[in-house]
């Protein structure tokens, strides 16, 4: 990795942390310059515009999410063990400082037209496809009912994750993870052969 690419990654990490607190809309080249103690002109040379910065933060965060959440789960046996690993890694990811930027941004950008929203839509569709594909492998393995709907499972699991996000981030409920795991158990029990 070149020095410029490494610097960009460090800046994008900090931008993601900042966006976790102020939202993507609050993330500007100016606010990032203040946070990183870098010049606005230097950051402008990296990103060019607020929209470009936001897009790159989303892409960078989605890439980190794949590395930290999805890929490790794929090393687990197919079906339920893989889904449980995915879920646990997502809980850990979402419990970090600032929470899950991808989840928080979905509330912030749901009615905001433009390229940043479209990038987030792409990320969200990829995520739902990942869950559905992992569930389908459990059907293939005979762990889940043959008539189970992978898309319904993906939506229901996303609902559990969204509820966890609200109860842990907004309500500061110390039992949010326990309740989320119970909800996952209910979903998996309903899907089993």
Q: How far is CA 62 from CA 30, 81, 95, 122, in A?
A: 23, 23, 16, 10
CA 77 to chain centre: 22
Helical packing angle, 3-26 and 50-65, nearest 10°: 110
43 is a domain residue: no
What is residue 56's three-state secondary structure? helix
Question: Domain containing 159 — which CATH number?
Answer: 1.10.357.10
Q: Which comes out higher in pLDDT, residue 167 or 45?
A: 167
Q: Is the pTM of this model over 0.85?
A: yes
pLDDT for residue 1 is more than 80:
no
In the chain, the number of structural domains is 1
- For residue 106, give the nearest of 121, 125, 90, 89 by alpha carbon: 121
Q: Which comes out higher in pLDDT, residue 44 or 125?
A: 125
33 is a domain residue: no
3-state secondary structure the chain: CCHHHHHHHHHHHHHHHHHHHHHHHHCCHHHHHHHHCCCHHHHHHHHCCHHHHHHHHHHHHHHHHHHHHHHHHHCCCCCHHHHHHHHHHHHHHHHCCCCCHHHHHHHHHCCCCCHHHHHHHHHHHHHHHHHHHHHHHHHHCCCECCCCCHHHHHHHHHHHHHHHHHHHHHCCCCCHHHHHHHHHHHHHHHHEC
28 is a domain residue: no
42 is a domain residue: no
10 is a domain residue: no
35 is a domain residue: no
pLDDT at 4: 66
Q: Which comes out higher in pLDDT, residue 84 or 47?
A: 84
44 is a domain residue: no
Write out the residue range of the structural domain in which residue 154 sits: 56-191
82 is a domain residue: yes
69-127 pLDDT per residue, tens = 999 999 999 999 999 999 999 999 998 877 889 998 999 999 999 999 999 999 999 99
pLDDT at 2: 72
Say what percent of the chain tops pLDDT 90: 68
What is residue 173's three-state secondary structure? coil
């Amino acid at each position: 990795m070149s020095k410029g690419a490494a610097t960009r990654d460090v800046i994008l990490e900090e931008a993601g942390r900042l966006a976790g607190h102020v939202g993507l809309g609050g993330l500007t080249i100016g606010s990032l310059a203040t946070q990183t103690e870098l010049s606005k002109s230097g950051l402008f040379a990296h990103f060019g515009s607020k929209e470009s910065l936001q897009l790159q933060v989303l892409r960078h965060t989605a890439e980190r999410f794949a590395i930290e959440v999805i890929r490790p789960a794929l090393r687990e046996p197919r079906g339920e063990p893989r889904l449980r690993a995915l879920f646990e890694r997502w809980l850990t990811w979402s419990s970090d400082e600032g929470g899950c930027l991808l989840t928080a941004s979905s509330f912030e950008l749901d009615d905001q037209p433009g390229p940043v929203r479209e990038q987030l839509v792409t990320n969200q569709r990829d995520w739902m496809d990942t869950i559905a594909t992992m569930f389908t492998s459990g059907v293939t393995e005979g762990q889940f009912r043959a008539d189970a709907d992978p898309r319904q499972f993906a939506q229901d699991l996303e609902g559990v994750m969204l509820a966890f996000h609200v109860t842990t981030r907004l309500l500061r409920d110390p039992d949010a993870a326990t309740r989320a795991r119970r909800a996952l158990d209910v979903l998996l029990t309903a899907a089993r052969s």
